[in-house]
Structure 1
Amino acid sequence: MNKNLTPRINLIKQDGREVEREKLAILRVLASCQTPLGSKIIARRLKNEYGIELSERAVRYHLIMLDDRGMTCKISRRDGRSITQLGLEELENALVTDKVGFVIDKIERLAYLTDFNLDTLSGMVPVNISFFAKEQFKPALRAMAQAYKANLCVSELVCIAHEGDKIADISVPAGQVAFATVCSIVINGTLLKAGIPMDSRFGGTLQFHQNKPRRFTDMIYYTGSSLDPSEIFIASRMTSVSEVARRGEGKVLCNFREIPAASLPLAEKIIAKLRNAGINGVLVVGEAGKSVCEMPSGLNKVGMIMMGGLNPVAAAVENDIPAASQAMSGLIPYSSFKNYWEAAGLKKPA
């Protein structure tokens, strides 16, 4: 082979791999939504969620190629595309090296995009979105009540969207209700804007004993995972949020993160402001270099344990109410939230 052609061949291979990554990202966007999407929304979500900038025309080109491969199908000119079973299978099998670490990339991107202003109480806040069957939504809200009463949540602020509505660029399917909870990444983003970097280590189940957090019993490190830990633990029925709320014994969803020890005084001020804004996700703040709930912290680091935003949904699932959850689904304006008790039509316990 002509040696002069080698750089060109390598470039073609590299470009081909990049194109394949873009197609997989499009499939991920379609797979995360239960309704068809058009090229405009896909392009916006690619940029916001994956840092991939493609024009609407480029997205349409990729979609045509995916249609030809049977991985997407065109619903209509107005409604856009849906992913097919073949497309879902491709996501399961393709480019496994790209999927490892996908969760931590998403955390960092959402933290960067969070622009919640603690002084004006305005801006975009990251959320988890869960879908319930319309007829089961009221029982689900009642099942969540104990979790909210016991403060086993990031915030009492929630957002509800009904069939035909959109939330974080996701259309709510017919017969479904979308329930958005504040994601703990809002703390990452708020600290980041104040110049405090946060290292997100892992998500896990935290054991409670006599109403006090004791230790992590299961954990999944973000850097080595292609799936969100909370979704896995809920689907595997590994939580007992309702029992913790009732008896102070059991396991809840929590996250372990670290900040530089030197930034602790400023971080504590910001955490206090977040509480005043109705965001109470920080469960435990450790000391420099010391373990938190039996989890060691790095040198000159302070460990933090945060509540999982999907704990109330886990409580509903524990009560045999099915939910399809998408952690870190996107961002919605702070002004769109309502207090859970008001939204559920329930009286808040004294």
Structure 2
Amino acid sequence: MNKNLTPRINLIKQDGREVEREKLAILRVLASCQTPLGSKIIARRLKNEYGIELSERAVRYHLIMLDDRGMTCKISRRDGRSITQLGLEELENALVTDKVGFVIDKIERLAYLTDFNLDTLSGMVPVNISFFAKEQFKPALRAMAQAYKANLCVSELVCIAHEGDKIADISVPAGQVAFATVCSIVINGTLLKAGIPMDSRFGGTLQFHQNKPRRFTDMIYYTGSSLDPSEIFIASRMTSVSEVARRGEGKVLCNFREIPAASLPLAEKIIAKLKNAGINGVLVVGEAGKSVCEMPSGLNKVGMIMMGGLNPVAAAVENDIPAASQAMSGLIPYSSFKNYWEAAGLKKPA
């Protein structure tokens, strides 16, 4: 083979790999939404969620290729495309190197994009979005009340969207109601803006005993998973949020993170400000180099345990109310939130 052709062949291989990754990212965007999407929204979400900058024209080109391969289907010129079963299978069989670490990448990206200002109480806040059938939404809200009463949540701030509305660039399907909860990544993002890096280690189920956090019983490391741990634990019925709220015994969704020990004084001030803003996601703050709930921290690191934003939704699922949840769905303005008790039309217990 002509040696002069080798660099060109390698470049073609690299370009081909990048094209495949772009197509996989488009499939992921479509798979995360229950309604068809057009090229404009897909291009925006590719940039915001995956750091991939493609023009609308380039997205349309990729979609035509995906249509030809049977992985997407065109609903209409106005509504855009949906992913097909073949497309979902392609995501399942994607290259391991493109799947592993997907969750940690999403955490870091959302943390960077979070621009919530603690002084002006404005800016974008990361959310989890859960979809409920319209007729089951009121029972779901009632089932979630115990979790909110017991503070088994990141925040009492929520956002509700109805069919036909959009929330975080996601259209709410017919017959569904979208329920957005504050994602604990808001803490990552706020600390990051203050110059404090946070290492997100894993998500898990934390055992409570006599109303006190005891130890992690299940965990999934973010760096080795392409699926969000909270979604897995809820779908597998591995939580007992309602029991913790009622009796102080059971398992809730939590995650473990670390910050540099030297940053702890500043971090504590920021956490206090977050609490004043209605964001109370930090459950336990450890000490430098010491274990937190039987979980060791690194040298010169401080371990933190955060509440999972989907705990209230887990409580609803435990009460046999189905929900389709998408953790770390995107960002919405802080001004869009309402207090859960007001939004649910319920009186907050004293």
* TM-score interval, normalised by the smaller of the two chains: over 0.9
Does structure 1 residue 138 correspond to structure 2 residue 150? no
Residue identity over aligned pairs, in percent, reads 100
Moved more, 266-275 or 89-98: 89-98
Deviation at 1:176, TM superposition (A): 0.2
SS at match of 1:88: helix
The CA deviation string for residues 273-319 of structure 1, in whole angstroms up to 9 with x for no partner, is 00000000000000000000000000000000000000000000000
Deviation at 1:2, TM superposition (A): 1.3
Partner of 2:223: 223
Inter-partner Cα distance in structure 2 for 1:114 and 1:246: 34
Inter-partner Cα distance in structure 2 for 1:28 and 1:157: 28
Deviation at 1:189, TM superposition (A): 0.1
SS at match of 1:291: coil
Deviation at 1:94, TM superposition (A): 1.6
Inter-partner Cα distance in structure 2 for 1:264 and 1:90: 44
Inter-partner Cα distance in structure 2 for 1:6 and 1:261: 49
Inter-partner Cα distance in structure 2 for 1:96 and 1:221: 16
Inter-partner Cα distance in structure 2 for 1:83 and 1:250: 38
Partner of 1:99: 99
Inter-partner Cα distance in structure 2 for 1:80 and 1:228: 27
Inter-partner Cα distance in structure 1 for 2:100 and 2:72: 24
Inter-partner Cα distance in structure 2 for 1:4 and 1:94: 32
SS at match of 1:297: coil
Deviation at 1:97, TM superposition (A): 1.5
The CA deviation string for residues 151-174 of structure 1, in whole angstroms up to 9 with x for no partner, is 000000000000000000000000
Deviation at 1:217, TM superposition (A): 0.3
Inter-partner Cα distance in structure 2 for 1:108 and 1:90: 25
SS at match of 1:14: helix
Deviation at 1:3, TM superposition (A): 1.5
Inter-partner Cα distance in structure 1 for 2:344 and 2:304: 31
SS at match of 1:273: helix
Deviation at 1:56, TM superposition (A): 0.5
Inter-partner Cα distance in structure 2 for 1:232 and 1:24: 21
The CA deviation string for residues 209-263 of structure 1, in whole angstroms up to 9 with x for no partner, is 0000000000000000000000000000000000000000000000000000000
SS at match of 1:295: coil
The CA deviation string for residues 158-212 of structure 1, in whole angstroms up to 9 with x for no partner, is 0000000000000000000000000000000000000000000000000000000
Inter-partner Cα distance in structure 2 for 1:345 and 1:250: 28
The CA deviation string for residues 117-175 of structure 1, in whole angstroms up to 9 with x for no partner, is 00000000000000000000000000000000000000000000000000000000000
Moved more, 94-103 or 286-295: 94-103
Inter-partner Cα distance in structure 2 for 1:169 and 1:116: 18
TM-score (norm 2): 1.00
SS at match of 1:82: strand
Inter-partner Cα distance in structure 2 for 1:244 and 1:84: 40
Query: What CA RMSD, in Å, does the superposition of the two structures yield over aligned residues?
Result: 0.4
SS at match of 2:116: coil
Inter-partner Cα distance in structure 1 for 2:228 and 2:105: 11
TM-score (norm 1): 1.00
Inter-partner Cα distance in structure 2 for 1:77 and 1:221: 41
The CA deviation string for residues 78-109 of structure 1, in whole angstroms up to 9 with x for no partner, is 11000011101101002121100000000000
Inter-partner Cα distance in structure 2 for 1:222 and 1:90: 22
SS at match of 2:246: helix
Partner of 2:83: 83
Inter-partner Cα distance in structure 2 for 1:124 and 1:99: 27
Inter-partner Cα distance in structure 1 for 2:223 and 2:95: 16
Unaligned runs of 5+ in 1: none
SS at match of 2:219: strand
Inter-partner Cα distance in structure 2 for 1:71 and 1:225: 23
SS at match of 2:190: helix
Inter-partner Cα distance in structure 1 for 2:6 and 2:78: 45
SS at match of 1:305: strand
Runs of 4+ in 1 over 4 A off after TM superposition: none
Inter-partner Cα distance in structure 1 for 2:345 and 2:79: 34
Inter-partner Cα distance in structure 1 for 2:215 and 2:240: 15
Deviation at 1:328, TM superposition (A): 0.1
Partner of 2:108: 108
SS at match of 1:205: strand
SS at match of 2:181: strand
Inter-partner Cα distance in structure 1 for 2:71 and 2:332: 30
Tell me the matched-pair count.
Answer: 350
Does structure 1 residue 309 correspond to structure 2 residue 294? no
Inter-partner Cα distance in structure 1 for 2:45 and 2:166: 14
Inter-partner Cα distance in structure 2 for 1:211 and 1:31: 38
Deviation at 1:4, TM superposition (A): 1.3
SS at match of 2:47: helix
Partner of 1:179: 179
Inter-partner Cα distance in structure 2 for 1:101 and 1:42: 22
